[in-house]
Structure 1
């Protein structure tokens, strides 16, 4: 967008809550030079467009009009993924969680001591993530400081919004000799080095001469792998580190925390064996001050009602990872119950427990998971599920990341993190939708067609349907994107 105003006109879909979305066939969005939405009007008749633009002082600006069958949605928010596990996609489905870590994951992550290998992999990770429409991603790195620093540099270079953390994993009784940190002290020290490095990065928006983003795109996140991999000294050290940085740097965004919880029943039993003073897995994190409103809890499949209440009380968020939960036979998280309890919930690919980089795949598996639970419980037909899945992949994820005031939906003042999607016959699975993607008729029929096109994209689409990917107003991916 090169330091100027960009105007979009056409079909826009945006979430409101888990049970409501807005389908806006004739929406006008004006994106300012710093990548925020300066003006938005949900309904503008074609014949009134020039008049509205003159009234707002945009008469001389070019309008990017969308074709019938194209639409704009918020970018996807991946609340849980492992960058160094990308080479293991589609491997290890014969294992359950702890076996899979031992036989598939830890050997591969150990290879990221090689920074050349890390650089090659991470460029591809970020490029593919953006191509599939993920505008915000919560990345776990390996425990290697150098490799995770490279990941941060690459994400910043590509212009993705992200949280990046090196894994903290120092418990020698539960980890292999070849892949465990020397001490809690070393783990905390290197985590602090990573935080300082990430906070020193120049925002890509400055490099691209399009102005200053209102907040850094790349932020640090504390990443205790899971309680079973961390000593008490490590957990308490991370708590103290977060407290110190949040108080010493009040002008910086508060440091987020990400970890795993209750993914697998055996994992839960093992955690409680090492933390016998805790009544539950959730209480382990709460006892060490790591359960807070900036915490993202991956999986959360096997939580007790009391744990759900505690998570709600602390205002922590849950990353629902259905693809991974199915692939590793972990179980099905009762997301509907979490939402009904008022808990923040988003979606995560959980590469490579999840075998796909695409958030569309996660949306599809989230829908299946919800329907399985509904059928088993004898519930009425869940008519709101497509709407709920769209919400979880966008605004729900933004809430989990404490970014819902900036991203996840469209309104004036929010960042323009967006996808331009086409369901015309020259994109995606040719012949699936074809001329049915277009709509003639009144506003109501156009709105119904937009809702239909969005649902079909979520369940039949892929990266070929994503024409453009914008982060903070900058074009960073999509079929029509040409890297500079």
Structure 2
């Protein structure tokens, strides 16, 4: 394998919710450590060697040059901020679904061989769908969640992995005590950090399942852990449906809101990832597939409905949101807020990449293509040979039937939109994390 890599062709990268860059002829250099050295946005094929030389790179046998064809492009890897890795099924509302589907399914992960088989398949499928970073919810089992973390590490994905903390309102599927739950959590943190102490891709995350499944003592004990180690991320659920919210209100009458339950416990910080509130996640247990493309489509469709009806006040994740004084996201100055409006293509791209990185405090490492960031990337193809009948992409001039006119090829923006709304894993040809090829049809 060559030491350096040059990619020439179309590159798409987010800038903000209102802006994305679409470069049809970019030249991107990745070094041997999987770091982006530089990007030049407009380079003809005949200029590759001269432009590289200007940047101090001699294109010789130590450099692999990848040429992307029309209908192919590089984009940042998807970031899934809510991946419920053990579960599936969705014919019930939340609380009934947990009792009838989720908890019985998760109980099976006490069998470590079963856990290894399922988790290996889950991580493969997620990677092959173009997701380079996941926030994984494991089960309450320490051993099974350690297996998940090891699989993620060995397959080269970037991830946060958490063992669910839950000691009430979960039938027979719950931990015996706060002490047991915290002890297992501490062991998992140590186990994950031992996987790659110097340069980790996999990080532990505190995971109180949701307020209903945790006693006040357990929530506060987890908050104490977070206070002792401010580098720990936190993930949990919030306000998924009305029956959940009402039950939470009954369990925590002292709290002024659902968010206040977490705030009182010290679990609402700038490192908290709130599923169903901020960011895009597949929730592939209760969602439709392990692909973030389904979440992109859902967000696009939901925003259209909201934009058309403007019912109620549904804040955008890009407005200045505060949950009891804790800032979760900010809008750009002098830019219109996106609340109650259809999300543009730039926002959908941002949500699925850089926005997720910001939520996970990874925006200085991944989420967009910039010099100094790590190369977490997807090579997408909407060409006919990808074999997806759902996408028809006009990749060159064609004579209009019955007329002599020529129809111009689809723009890069149009191709991205077709991929977002009609694409699947067949269109994901290669997937890299920190420069390592980890997935895709052509891996």
TM-score calculated relative to the size of structure 2: 0.88
- Tell me the CA shift for residue 404 of structure 1: 0.6
Q: Which residues of 2 match residues 192-203 of structure 1 at below 5 A?
A: 192-202=186-196
- Whether 2:184 is the aligned partner of 1:190: answer yes
> Secondary structure, in 3 states, of the residue corresponding to 1:234?
helix
- Whether 2:52 is the aligned partner of 1:53: answer yes
> Secondary structure, in 3 states, of the residue corresponding to 1:297?
strand
- Tell me the CA shift for residue 187 of structure 1: 0.3
RMSD: 1.9
Distance in 2 of aligned mates of 1:459 and 1:387:
14
Aligned twin of 1:477? 439
- Tell me the CA shift for residue 439 of structure 1: 7.1
CA contact (8 A) 2:391 2:418 kept: no
CA contact (8 A) 1:160 1:218 kept: yes
Aligned twin of 1:8? 7
Distance in 2 of aligned mates of 1:144 and 1:34:
35
> Secondary structure, in 3 states, of the residue corresponding to 2:229?
helix
Provide Cα deviations, 1:43-79, integer angstroms capped at 9, x if missing partner.
2233322211122223222311111111001000000
Q: Which residues of 2 match residues 268-417 of structure 1 at below 5 A?
A: 268-300=245-277, 318=278, 346-377=279-310, 384-417=343-376
Aligned twin of 2:226? 242
Distance in 1 of aligned mates of 2:2 and 2:273:
34
TM-score calculated relative to the size of structure 1: 0.81
Distance in 2 of aligned mates of 1:103 and 1:368:
29
Q: State which of 451, 467, 476 in structure 1 corresponds to 2:413.
A: 451
Distance in 1 of aligned mates of 2:255 and 2:343:
37
> Secondary structure, in 3 states, of the residue corresponding to 2:287?
coil
Distance in 2 of aligned mates of 1:232 and 1:439:
65
Q: Which residues of 2 match residues 230-269 of structure 1 at below 5 A?
A: 230-246=214-230, 254-269=231-246
> Secondary structure, in 3 states, of the residue corresponding to 2:353?
helix
> Secondary structure, in 3 states, of the residue corresponding to 2:269?
coil
Question: More displaced, 468-477 or 234-243?
Answer: 234-243
Q: Greater helix share, 1 or 2?
A: 1
Aligned twin of 1:106? 103
Unaligned 5+ segments in structure 1 are: 204-211, 247-253, 301-317, 319-345
> Secondary structure, in 3 states, of the residue corresponding to 1:258?
strand
Aligned twin of 2:324? none
CA contact (8 A) 1:69 1:438 kept: no
Quickly say closer, same or farther: Cα 1:119–1:431, change in 2 above 3 A: closer
Provide Cα deviations, 1:259-290, integer angstroms capped at 9, x if missing partner.
00011111111111111111100011011110
Quickly say closer, same or farther: Cα 1:80–1:431, change in 2 above 3 A: closer
Quickly say closer, same or farther: Cα 1:404–1:115, change in 2 above 3 A: same
- Whether 2:117 is the aligned partner of 1:131: answer no
Distance in 1 of aligned mates of 2:225 and 2:395:
52
Q: Which residues of 2 match residues 81-230 of structure 1 at below 5 A?
A: 81-85=83-87, 88=88, 91-93=89-91, 95-171=92-168, 174-176=169-171, 178-202=172-196, 215-230=199-214
> Secondary structure, in 3 states, of the residue corresponding to 1:347?
coil
Unaligned 5+ segments in structure 2 are: 312-337, 399-407
> Secondary structure, in 3 states, of the residue corresponding to 2:86?
helix
